[in-house]
Structure 1
Amino acid sequence: MLYETPSLVIIGLLLLATIAVVEAGILVGRKYGRNTWNNAQDIHTALTAAVLALMALMLAFTFSLSVTRFDLRKNLIVSEATAIQSVRNGMDYLAPQPKAQALALLGSYLEQRIAFLEVGNDPPREREAIAKSRSLHTEMWKIATDSANYEAPDAEVRSVQFSELTEALLKLNEVSRQREAARERRVPQAALLMLFALSLGSGAVLAYISGASAHPDRLPTYVVLCLVCLVIYLIIDFDRPRRGLMRLDSGPLRELVT
């Protein structure tokens, strides 16, 4: 549900909820907290520090999750580019006609892998790119596993070349499937909802203390909570590399286009 909702909409709603919580917290603090403020000031201060520490811990945890997943997707693009280059090198062992056919298939395969990255948040087109790339990989595999397609006259040499090319194709298939799986690895929705709840709870505590202390200065509270919302936006953006400001670079794959 959250993934299908635009990031700006989520943060906008969170900011509105934060404003409502802060204003309500100040009113409640003024009404119920002033009588006990002098006697419970130390307790209130300790509770505020505990809530802020808990929120900071949750922010760090979810930020780490989102950045780790973003880095994984980025590194797999480089790994796939390397695997494609290895396959291309292995095709040099083929005879001229099957080599030309295999290179044409590999070029189409590369186009589909770039398309899988650049289609954006469009599941049908993503599935189409995956299906086409797998079909092209199957065709390349058929060429690579036919010993008659190798140019070397010596059987032992052909065996070594056969092994290298098929291993390169197997590695390419493995990396491509890892990349497709990494596409679906996101920060758990429960973690994001907990983060939203903690940010609102922190705002409520800060606002209550502000109202109870008879100095309801809203500016520091709003500044802190706006910064928290900004960090949450970055967490969501890292978790959506096809939809926000953080985009994955197709450069390693495009460098292979000839």
Structure 2
Amino acid sequence: MDLANSLTSMPSWVLFIILLIIGVLATEFGFWAGHRKVKNGINEPTAPIGTAVSAILALLAFMLGFTFSITSSRFADRKGLVISQANAIGAGYLRAGLLPEKQKTTVRKLFSEYTDLLLKLPESNNVEALLDRRDAIHLLLWEQALSLEEQDIPPAMKSLFITSVNEIISLAEERKTVALVFRIPDALWEALLFLNVISMFAYGYQKGISGSRRTFEIPILTITYAVVIVLIADMDSTSFRRFKVSQEPLRSLQKMIRKGPR
């Protein structure tokens, strides 16, 4: 079972409700277990239990912070790659002006289509088809770069264009990997969810032992942790539900290409 994919593809509100229900049930079960011990005359000192519960909750908070750090770092990488990609395509488009007329026209048309395609990717329901076309454009650009060997132009011009094509292809693969491949592993999700359940159970158990059932605290604590887990799942999602990277650098590039020479 692909736990990461199941959690991140689930609607946010559904995941939140599931986590809330599980958290409340774990807390209630813990309270029932602790309260039953007290009713059976088994008295445990509350101080050691309170210390253990605090340690468990702190560990859960640490795991949440660690996991959130991973996803936020990946989100920052995605933003940086959009800027780098827009700059590389823009440089390639401008350097195409140094090419012979035949290659220049073909290459600039490819760059125009390529930019439009990249802007469609984040909102598309048919990502695979767009990625296939992206790869086809990479090959077409490389064919144009290879055709320069037959042209009598300065080596420096050839080198500049070939470098641009290489950089564009490399950045495209890097962005695809960061956006669609790098995910929080299932083992980390399993540990996070297990710790969440154990923490809620331990908190409920402590309340049951002490005999102080505070109904207001139980849902508040559960809601707090559920919200953070949902945010992590949203940020880790390949569909980018809430955390969407601005495509403004590519939109600016698109405007430049449409206004520029063909």
The residue number in structure 2 matching 1:65 is 70
1:17 to 16, 22, 37: 22
- C-alpha distance 180-220 of structure 1, shift in aligned 2 (>3 A): same
Measure the CA separation in 2 of the matches of 1:117 and 1:144: 29
2:79 to 57, 74, 78: 74
Measure the CA separation in 2 of the matches of 1:76 and 1:222: 40
Q: Does 1:204 align with 2:209?
A: no
- Give the deviation of 1:53 after TM superposition: 1.3
- 1:167 aligned counterpart, secondary structure: helix
The residue number in structure 2 matching 1:46 is 51
The residue number in structure 1 matching 2:158 is 162
Higher relative contact order (CA 8 A, sep 6+): 2
Residues 91-240 of structure 1 aligned to structure 2 (within 5 Å)? 91-119=96-124, 122=125, 125-147=126-148, 155=153, 158-182=154-178, 183-240=180-237
The residue number in structure 2 matching 1:245 is 242
> If the length of structure 1 is used for normalisation, what is the TM-score?
0.89
Residues 9 and 239 in structure 2, CA contact (< 8 A), matched pair in contact too: no
- C-alpha distance 58-140 of structure 1, shift in aligned 2 (>3 A): same
- 1:187 aligned counterpart, secondary structure: coil
Residue identity opposite 1:191 in structure 2? L
Residues 109 and 137 in structure 1, CA contact (< 8 A), matched pair in contact too: no
Residues 95 and 160 in structure 2, CA contact (< 8 A), matched pair in contact too: yes
Instruction: Tell me the alpha carbon deviations over residues 186-207 of structure 1, each in whole angstroms, 9 at most, x when there is no partner.
Output: 1112212211111111111111
% identical aligned pairs: 23
Measure the CA separation in 2 of the matches of 1:26 and 1:163: 71
Gaps of 5+ in 2: none
Residues 24 and 218 in structure 2, CA contact (< 8 A), matched pair in contact too: no
- Give the deviation of 1:95 after TM superposition: 2.5
Residue identity opposite 1:107 in structure 2? S
Measure the CA separation in 2 of the matches of 1:11 and 1:188: 20
> If the length of structure 2 is used for normalisation, what is the TM-score?
0.88
Aligned residues: 248
Gaps of 5+ in 1: none
Measure the CA separation in 1 of the matches of 2:75 and 2:246: 11
The residue number in structure 2 matching 1:90 is 95
- 1:247 aligned counterpart, secondary structure: coil
- Give the deviation of 1:56 after TM superposition: 1.1
Residues 114 and 250 in structure 1, CA contact (< 8 A), matched pair in contact too: yes
